[in-house]
Amino acid sequence: FNAAAPAPTGRHRRGLAGRLGPRAGFALQTSMIVSFLAASAAPTPLYAVYQQAWGFAPVTITVIFGVYAVAVLSSLLVVGALSDHIGRRPVLLVAAALQAAAMVVFATAGSVETLMAARITQGLATGAATGALGAGLLDLHRTRGTLANGAGPFAGMALGALGSSLLVAYLPAPTRLVYLVLLAILLAQAGGVALMGET
């Protein structure tokens, strides 16, 4: 499956082994790119709901977008290459834990301050995860990894915004339900990371 890199041998082969094979690992990491970016887009359709409930000024939405962007960029700059040194799995597990924590804060948010805290946590998690996932996918397959790195974020943002919009329009408690759905997906993916082979 990995046509881009030579197969590991001896001690290194044992160190890389995991219960998930390369194909399953590739699918898992692709799904994580989609879910992390879906989670980043999910709050956007809900800002009008938050604004109506809490009565904040429109400029506050710009600030919320801004703190997320700063957190993502800071995370990419500080820990973007960390997985090259300590492995993909540890970085992905920590990123998934941070993202899960952000989903809990979102689901229980009752003020602009908690919403910003959730966005900062989410930004840190997304920056760390995208660096490790991008590298991990290229480890497994250069051509398909490049395609997944290019298409995954766009697919995730589209799914996140669309799914969140549908929940707002048709289901109750959208400011909780969307995050609980994403939390369940993230926890399942974190379980997969624990079983994934290290690249």
* Residue scoring higher pLDDT (70 or 8): 70
φ/ψ of residue 196, rounded to 5 = -80, 145
Cβ proximity of 140 and 7 under 8 Å: no
Cβ proximity of 5 and 139 under 8 Å: yes
Q: Does 1.50.10.10 match the CATH number of domain 20-195?
A: no
User: 49 CB contacts (<8 Å, ≥6 apart)?
Assistant: 168, 174, 175
Report the Cα–Cα distance between both ends of the chain, in Å, rounded.
13
Classify 155 in phi/psi space as left (phi over 0), alpha (psi -120 to 50) or beta. alpha
Task: Answer whether residue 3 shows pLDDT above 50.
Answer: no
- What confidence score (pLDDT) does residue 18 get? 65
- Express each pLDDT in 175-184 by its tens digit: 999 999 999 9
Share of the chain above pLDDT 70, in %: 91
- Express each pLDDT in 53-67 by its tens digit: 999 999 999 999 999
- Express each pLDDT in 11-43 by its tens digit: 344 345 568 889 999 999 999 999 999 999 999
CA distance 24 to 28: 6
pLDDT band at 80 (very low <50, low <70, confident <90, very high): confident
Q: Where are the domains of the chain?
A: 20-195
